Amino acid sequence: MANKNNGNGATKVKLTKADFTSDNEVRWCPGCGDYSILSQVQKLLPTLGVPKENFVFISGIGCSSRFPYYMDTYGFHSIHGRALPIATGVKVSNPELSVWVITGDGDALSIGGNHFIHALRRNLDINILLFNNRIYGLTKGQYSPTSEFGKVTKSSPYGSVEQPIRPVNLALAAEATFVARSVDRWPHHLSEMIRKAYEHKGTSLVEIYQNCNIFNDGVFSDYTEKDVKDDNTIVLEDGKPLIFGKERDKGIILDGVTPKVVELNDGYSVSDLLVHHEKEESPVMSHILANIEFYGGPVPVGIFRSIDKPRYEEMLIDQMNDTIEKNGKGDIQDLLNSGHTWNVN
Amino acid sequence: MTDKTTERSETIEPEDILENIESATIRFAGDSGDGMQLAGTQFTNTTAIFGNDLSTLPDYPAEIRAPAGSLPGVSGFQICFSSKDVKTPGDEPDAMVIMNPAALKVNIKDLQTGGILIVNEDAFKTLNLQKAGFETSPLEDDSLSAYRLIKIPITKLTLNALEKFDLTNKIKERSKNFTALGIIFWLYDRPLEPTVNWVNEKFAKVPEVAKANITALKTGYNFASTTRIFASHYSIKKAKMKAGKYRNITGNEATALGFVTATTLAKIPLVYASYPITPASDILHELAKHKTFGVKTIQAEDEIAAICAAIGASYAGSFGITGTSGPGLALKSEASNLALITELPLVITNVQRGGPSTGLPTKTEQSDLLQAMYGRNGDSPLPILAAATPADCFYMAFEAVRLAIEAMSPVILLSDGYLGSGAEPFAIPNIKDLPKIKIMHHTDPKTFEPYKRDKKSFSRPWAIPGTFGLEHRLGGLEKSDGSGDVSYDPENHQLMTDYRHKKVESLANLIPELEVYGAKSGKLLVLGWGSTFGAISTAVEKEQKNGTDVSSAHLRYINPFPKNLGKVLGSFEKILIPELNMGQLSMIINAKFNLKVIQLNKVHGKPFLIHEIIKKIRLTLEGK
């Protein structure tokens, strides 16, 4: 256990990645995308200026949910699907804590689907890292709620007959205040998205495309392989036009309410392109972006939406403080003595 | 009614006879839109302030508004009040107020022979009679001849009295429960002031409605007083109660106040997370008010989220509590085990209702005892407490918090619908007399190990996030003794399982021994738990007065049992356990003490009547 501290300890020492690395042996399969995410988080945390003891990592069940064991922070490896309500209780209890939820596609969207929606709409100041590998890894290879239609797995030998959930769409429907997507093999982008998620005051969701090299290898190779990834993805940047492609020669325009891919040298210029505004109050444009795949467009990565709305825990505490300011702090004997009382002598 | 002495007042005409009686049981019953719960509550408050001991039983339908006039839409409220000690809402009412034919149909079988039956005759019209399944009006034939039937045109009286009010007839008619209440106030010689004050406060924003209600109340009172429609009216003297300050309290209010009191005195913030469920929601409503005590309430998205938020709160250094009823407890079972294995303090309140499944949401039952004891995967012992009366909910809620902190364990507190919505006078305690609860959050990194146990209580240190140098990982996987690292070691799993049992067992040193009411040994012990206390103790006292060799004892701590339970059970020839289930405590007692107890089981959704228990005591002693 490291004794360095940059918060309320006596000496201010610069924290490093090593301070956030626990002595537990990491037990993910060699080559798993989770290693990259762990490494980015361990590198990022020392740079945030938060006392180490104020970080709490909470997870559910699944491969990704082993994450807290590998972090030398406060950690809670809970039960399947329930990391978010536990995080809600932690944050409401102590808003000073930096609360991180580590979850997977099964954990967050199947067994914990209800909590996912409600955490996002409540907007507590917590960060959710959703490791989406589109498969059940820990139970050895069944289809997950994000698996493609027709996916052949152990539990769907004739192909899955379920439509997948798109986590970003679901989060936008719940009017989440921060919604982003990144990829395990894009370390710089991933690190940047996690930093932005931390900086956002409110519930932040980062969907991370994560490769399971044992049960679903290559599921995201269209977005990770050097020769194709730039043509298949578009990086969302606030205030910038939607340009993509290996040669940066393609863009997105809006034709009525329909997004359309256009070639920049084919009669279209940059000024014709749709400009991304992540702080737009209405979620409509972010929904359109989240669905450009339906119109033959690339998969967006980056921040879909980042807006400021009051935080649940702050409002709860404000109500409490306002009531105390108005009526004074409660006296327990007075409370017991309240209502219709009478004396017996 | 007993102990009748007749008094004649000199200032009133000779016909006005005020009889002194010891106690009375009355029931208000009508359509759920008739305001019977309100009438009952007002009668209760007035009676409490007047100084009688009392016990109440609201009985309302599950439907918010069942079709008007239908049998499922009948709502009732029963109160027993007395100049002596009262422990139950009474067996058979002495008087009933019946507002419509459906209420008559549902309730009449409970009225004592010769009992007073006040009926709103205006409601006995063809359509209402049909809805209740009457072919002819029971007011017109002799089917009610066993009772003292008093027909009063309550609706007409109300409308006439309010003729000049600037209100619609529909609104005017709504005041008829106040007219009925006024009649009953006269019949039992109660003051009107407490209700008048309440109406003025409650309807302050609609003064015309307030005035209408008060007018209706006085109309009923004056009608009863001037028409001499009753042969006499009754006075019940103040009860001799222990000196002190009292208030009327329901079990759910008492539970909520117990939680606030315990956490405030322990100086730990309370987080109450709950999902609305009948009949437990009132605990959430009550706690949501108490923001000046730093109480944070979370209305979670479901039962599982509620308990998980409470666990998260306890993990982060608050005291987490969740409340529910039977089906909700089932949903919470996996998370209760998470709190158990991570050894975090937590209270889970179950206000039991009729089961299985959705069962009888608004009716009472004690059928979740085995679920509380064993309804989780693995060997997972939890402390279990059960409140005996509405006021006792305060003390057992307090105890639940105290023991959860002592043991670093979730504690299940069992109450039920009857306790939760029933009310009785509560002798308000002085907080100085309550047990002390000390919170110890570990802070020293040098001595810290997440699962290093206290030698006496076997509990582990409570180390909360934000504490410098104590970073550690908790979770649902089995942990290694001491270090808290994940462990699959066979010996360690045995050791940790043993510790979890010992932790609960050692609480027996911190709870009171079982008290026996009556002789400490003899032919028969009637053993109860939870809300059957009133009926059992009253029945046993009555039989003791008849010279019967019978004692009673009541369990408020079920896991662990009081240390002397085995000795008590061994001192009697026979043990009778009445329960509002099919024999759940009996099963535990039989298994633990190798006994074959005699059972009295009932699942009617209603509490035991005193005479049901007396009958069983007699049969048992006769060897039948």
Q: By residue range, what is the domain housing residue A115?
A: 17-237+298-319
A76 beta partners: A58, B474
Instruction: Indicate if the alpha-carbon torsion angle B297, B298, B299, B302 is positive or negative.
Output: negative
CATH number, position B159: 3.40.920.10
The parent domain of residue B68 ranges over 5-236
Please indicate, yes or no, whether residues B52 and B121 belong to a single structural domain of this protein: yes
- Six-digit token string for A130: 């959703």
Mean pLDDT of B245-261: 96
Residue A340 domain-assigned (yes or no): no
What single DSSP character describes residue A151? Answer: -
> Cα angle vertex B335, ends B334, B341, to 5°?
95
Residue of B85, B195, B302, B308 best to disrupt the A interface, most CBs of A under 10 A: B308
* Residue A327, in any domain of the structure: no
Query: Is A89 within a domain?
Result: yes
pLDDT for A3:
42
Looking up residue B550, the CATH number of its domain turns out to be: 3.40.50.920
Picking from A73, A89, A330, the nearest residue to B271 by CB comes out as A89
Mean per-residue pLDDT for B84-105?
Answer: 95
- The CATH number linked to B394 is 3.40.50.970
Contacts of B9 (CB under 8 A, 6+ apart): B16, B18
Based on the fold, state whether residues B390 and B421 are members of the same structural domain. Answer: yes
Is the pLDDT confidence value at A276 over 60?
yes
- From CA B372, how far away is CA B376, in angstroms rounded? 8
CA distance A21 to chain B (A): 12
User: Residue A326 pLDDT more than 50?
Assistant: yes
Q: What is the ipTM of this complex?
A: 0.96
Three-class DSSP category at B289 = helix
pLDDT of A2 > 80? The answer is: no
How confident is residue A93, by pLDDT bands cut at 50, 70 and 90?
A: very high
Handedness of CA A112, A118, A124, A129 (dihedral sign): positive
Q: What pLDDT score does B8 carry?
A: 46
**Do both B341 and B445 map to the same domain?**
yes
A89/B445 CB distance under 8 A: no
- Same domain as B278, residue B186: no
Using alpha carbons, list the distances in angstroms from residue B395 to A100, A102, B391, B427: 38, 40, 8, 11
Which pLDDT score is estimated for A9? 47
The per-residue pLDDT for B15 is 59
Mean pLDDT of chain B: 95
For an interface test with B, give the residue of A318, A342, A343 to mutate (most B CBs within 10 A). Answer: A342
B148 plus B176 within the same structural domain: yes
Express as a percent the part of chain B with pLDDT over 70. Answer: 97
Please check whether residues B401 and B507 belong to one and the same domain. Answer: yes
pLDDT confidence tier of residue A10, bands split at 50, 70 and 90: very low
**Sequence-ordered list of residues with C-beta below 8 angstroms from that of A198, at least 6 positions apart, any chain:** A44, A48, A98, A127, A204
| Average pLDDT for chain A | 95
From B193, B212, B236, give the residue that closes a domain: B236
A219: CATH: 3.40.50.970
Does any domain span residue A272?
no
> Of A99, A102, A103, whose CA–CA distance to A111 is shortest?
A103
- Which of B217, B236, B255 represents a domain boundary (last residue)? B236
In a domain, A55, yes or no: yes
Domain-embedded: residue A281: no
* B432 shares its domain with B493: yes
What per-residue confidence (pLDDT) applies to A340? 80
Cβ-defined contact of A53 to B471 (cutoff 8 Å): yes
A342/B310 CB distance under 8 A: no
A339 in a structural domain: no
Question: Which candidate from B292, B296, B428 shows the least CB-CB separation from A324?
Answer: B292
Q: Could you read off the pLDDT of B514-572 as tens digits, one per residue?
A: 999 999 999 999 999 999 999 999 999 999 999 999 999 999 999 999 999 999 999 99
Average pLDDT over residues B478-496: 97
- B367 with B436, same domain: the answer is yes
With a cut of 80, say whether residue B5 has pLDDT above it.
no
pLDDT score of B13: 52
CB–CB contact A344 B241 (8 Å): yes
Domain count, chain B: 3
- A190 lies in some domain: yes
Two structure tokens written together for B346:
């937590």
pLDDT digits (tens, 9 = 90+) for A17-73: 999 999 999 999 999 999 999 999 999 999 999 999 999 999 999 999 999 999 999
Q: What is the pLDDT of residues B563-576, one digit of tens each?
A: 999 999 999 999 99
* B271, B227: one domain: no
Three-state SS string across B586-611, please?
HHHHHHHHCCCCEEEECCCCCCCCHH
Same domain, B315 and B456: yes
Amino acid at B564: N
pLDDT (tens digit, 9 = 90+) per residue, A202-253?
999 999 999 999 999 999 999 999 999 999 999 999 999 999 999 999 999 9
Same domain, residue pair B231 and B258 = no
Instruction: Give the pLDDT mean for B157-173.
Output: 96
Task: Check pLDDT > 90 for residue A6.
Answer: no
Number of structural domains found in chain A: 1
- Domain boundary among the residues B491, B511, B531 is at B511
Task: State whether B366 and B337 are in the same domain.
Answer: yes
